[in-house]
Chain A
């Protein structure tokens, strides 16, 4: 049978960001795929070399609009290691709170997009309606809905007092209530979602390990790997167990993210209740010198920053490895063999964040 090559993207209704997949089809079945990136490169690594190392927090925060706080946190952890700064305990707990807030709204955004890619508009609207509650908490605590800008080298810029913590707790419970009553039953039981996702885009545990998959993509295949286990920020004190599903299909990855939303709510409530009193920011003297690595868990997986400084105000090198970059190769295993109509759902199931990938 003759093969047809169809370009999927860079502009496609289900793709939130530009990536092109060159699909090789035999009739309706995908037999080959070639991902092409390079549509949204912004030269952030170079810009970070030219800026003051303190100002880089704000540019790193803008690498990704969805997990902005976690990018800032990763940068700050590395810069703090290089300048030998000890972050106050209260700031570490606040960092956990905002990280989990970012993760919650990222997962909800993704769950909404998944529903949208299946044509399930009403569920998409409901999920994004719930996401608004999380964005309101972000605006209330950090001063902005998406770009929190609260993490800086040496600690955090804003505090959450007892009264606000109580209000946040109340809103989180209302959010959980909404998840329980309107979203979770549909995600867990609806036959439409199951027919579109169960058994689609299979990735076995061995393949996930071999291809170096990270985050929910690997956890959906039974690989219990999550950088939060290393206990950065205050995850050690808060306590953490990764969410793992073993099926390895698109539905398993959906369930990992849906269960993580619940876990995030618990982590946020724990972080706020366990938060000790004290300082939130310490003074940073000196300039970055030597090398450092910093790793954190983004909503999409492991995020790695590599730093090299030469004792001046500017970094000599800042290398950023984002999780989607590690997850794109898994598409080469997931897509061949599937039907053309399943490509959008499977592609979305790795939660591609191309702006992150290309920096």
Chain B
């Protein structure tokens, strides 16, 4: 136990390392964090590459009805779709996808 004394002493006079979430915000993620996925409906040309490479089958491209279905609760946030998209229509945010009480799906109507 004597070997813990310096740590105990230091901890007595320092601030807690934990944050009081949700009353206080968590620290900002580092740049390049793989967070939430967004689709740019103006750039998308409905080629379906993203749906083809997605390892979790979280993207469905419906070229007939000109829409994209994205399932955030299937997504593993690997970022493969972002790298694959030739149009640059998929972007990845640096923030976590928020929790939800049900498994939602996001619908994007493509304008082009």
* Contacts from A to B (Cβ < 8 Å): 51-52, 54-55, 57-59, 62, 122-123, 126, 129, 132, 136, 139-140, 143-144, 147, 149, 157-158, 181-182, 185-186, 189-190, 192
Contacts and interface: CB of A to CB of B under 8 A. Distances in A.
A123 B4 contact: yes
Nearest to A138: B30
Contacts of B7: 122, 126, 182
A143 B34 contact: yes
Given A149-B78, A190-B4, 9 more contacts: A52-B55, A55-B53, A58-B56, A58-B78, A132-B17, A144-B33, A149-B79, A157-B83, A185-B3
A140 B34 contact: no
B6 A143 contact: no
Interface of B: 1, 3-4, 6-8, 17, 29-30, 32-34, 53, 55-56, 76-80, 83
Contacts, number: 52
Given A58-B76, A122-B7, A129-B17, A144 B34 contact: yes
B13 to A, nearest CB: 15
Contact of B30 (A129, A139, A149): A139
23 contacts: A52-B55, A54-B53, A55-B53, A57-B55, A58-B56, A58-B78, A58-B80, A123-B4, A132-B17, A136-B30, A140-B30, A143-B33, A143-B34, A147-B76, A149-B34, A149-B78, A158-B32, A181-B6, A182-B7, A186-B3, A186-B4, A190-B3, A190-B4
B55 A58 contact: yes
Contacts of B83: 157
Nearest to A140: B30
A190 B44 CA distance: 62
B32 A59 contact: no
Contacts of A52: 55
A190 B5 CA distance: 12
A136 B32 CA distance: 13
A181 to B, nearest CB: 7
Contacts of A143: 30, 32-34, 79
Nearest to B78: A149
Contacts of A122: 4, 7-8
A44 to B, nearest CB: 13
A182 B3 CA distance: 8
B45 to A, nearest CB: 23
B52 to A, nearest CB: 9
Contacts of A59: 55
